[in-house]
Amino acid sequence: MKQTSAIVLAAGLGKRMNSGLPKPLHCICGRAMILHVLDALLPLELEKVVVVVGHGSRRVIEEVSSLSDSRLKLEFVEQHTPQGTGDAVKVALTCFADAYDSNARDSDILILPGDAPLILPSTLEGLLRMHKEHLSVATLLSMVISDPTGYGRIIRDKHGSVSKIVEEKDASEEEKLLDEVGTSVYVFRQSALAPALRILSPKNAQNEYYLTDVIEVLRNVGYEILAVKAADGREVAGVNDRLQLALAENELRRRINAKHMLNGVTMTDPDHVYIDKTVEIERDVTLLPGVILKGDTYVSSDSVLGPFVKLENCRLGKRTLIEFSSLKDVKLEDDAVVSFEGGFHI
């Protein structure tokens, strides 16, 4: 089976975030957005992961290097001038010494954006499995969405095969009516990707090199393009502004709470319990409304937290009872009781 590597595109300016913080570092449930993407890659056992950085590159590299899982074989490359996703991938291929060597061992490259924090490992595994089973040159992840505004439209021929992707700014009024869109997640055979990138042109509405155009380039030379539809569009939706950031956090929080409840944690009102991804909770813990658990917090069994408790970087012993309190960097032994009811007015 071909070896597989990944490229994560995280060089965008993120203008719509309206922030001085680099877009990949905006936090969702206690971790930077890009770290959630990298977490999804870990089970794939990739040969290496190349992260393309741009705006705020030094800060992104420092945080990702220090907080990502050490088992990921990370490399960083900078796109100094933002010229589109096609150019970003071309820059990333400089980390592959054999990218343009026709005699080198062939491999597959998974490409995905750094602003899709809800992507699941199972979805990426399914995409790779389809790609490898069909010996495909290019396989893309698509989704059907009721409001496709802002997304590139998937264009299929009369036989239903993918022929190209058209970015919204370049789409005709008829093409804009299509509801199957690209998710910016692809798998390419390296030997086909590299020469296709050389053919790209910036003659489009944004004067950029679109990675989406690689699909049409490969189709025009006779390759069949596969498309796998995502089961849940929320999973592959990008985060481009603060509203989308909040929606992504809400969905991830729902997943986190569901996981804890299935593992034996009681929540009397899950909609009002906020738990970072980094928090660990033993079974038979009860969380009442208004609980916020952040950072490196550990809650031992048979504890009851809430109402209205905020903990950050705390370690709690068994049978701890805390209500109406905010604690940071605190360690409590078994059977501790903490309450500060007078500090809250409801």
Q: Which amino acid is at 306?
A: G
- Could you tell me the sign of the dihedral formed by the alpha carbons of 187, 191, 192, 196, in that order? positive
Q: Coil, strand, or helix at residue 147?
A: coil
Q: Which residues are part of the catalytic machinery?
A: 16
User: pLDDT at position 104, please?
Assistant: 61
Contact 319, 303 (CB under 8 A): yes
pLDDT at residue number 165: 97
Say what the pLDDT of residue 345 is: 34
The CA distance from 116 to 28, in Å, is 11
* Helix 190-199 with 85-92: angle, nearest 10 deg: 130
**Which residue in 104, 96, 100, 110 sits closest to 195, CA to CA?**
100
List pLDDT tens digits, range 8-60. Answer: 999 988 899 999 999 999 999 999 999 999 999 999 989 999 999 999 999 99
Q: How far apart are CA 179 and CA 152, in angstroms?
A: 10
Domain 263-343: give its CATH superfamily: Hexapeptide repeat proteins (2.160.10.10)
Which pair of structure tokens corresponds to residue 40? 């999804």
Q: Which residue blocks in the chain are alpha helix, DSSP H?
A: 33-41, 57-67, 85-92, 121-133, 190-199, 213-220, 233-236, 242-262
Tokens 């975030």 found at? 17
Here the contacts of 320-328 (C-beta below 8 Å, separation 24 or greater) are 323/288
When pLDDT is cut at 50, 70 and 90, the band that residue 1 belongs to is: very low
Q: Give pLDDT, residue 103.
A: 57
Spatial contact of 245 and 28, defined as CB atoms under 8 Å apart:
yes
Least confident of 33-37, 201-205, 327-331: 201-205
CA distance 79 to 101: 22
What percent of the chain stands above pLDDT 70? 96
C-alpha torsion angle, residues 62, 63, 66, 71 (rounded to 10): -110
Q: Where in the chain is the domain with CATH 2.160.10.10?
A: 263-343
Contact 119, 37 (CB under 8 A): yes
Intervals of CATH 3.90.550.10 along the chain: 3-236
Confidence of residue 99 (pLDDT cuts 50, 70, 90): low
Give CA–CA dist 85/335, Å, rounded.
55
Reported as a single tens digit per residue, the pLDDT across 231-278 is: 898 899 889 999 999 999 999 999 999 999 999 999 999 999 999 999
CATH 3.40.50.920 fits 3-236, yes or no: no
Residues in contact with 81: Cβ distance below 8 Å, sequence separation at least 6, in sequence order:
87
Query: Whole-model pTM?
Result: 0.92
Rounded to the nearest integer, the mean pLDDT of the chain is: 93
Tens of pLDDT along 112-168? 999 999 999 999 999 999 999 999 999 999 999 989 988 999 999 988 889 999 999
Q: Which residues of 285-298 are buried (b: 16+ CB within 10 A; e: fewer)?
A: bebbebbbbbeebb
Lowest mean pLDDT among 18-27, 73-82, 87-96, 334-343: 334-343
- For every residue of 285-318, DSSP letters joined together read -EE-TTEEEESS-EE-TT-EE-SSEEEES-EE-T
CA distance readout (Å), 169 to 18, 151, 152, 176, 206: 22, 9, 9, 9, 8
346 pLDDT above the threshold of 50: no
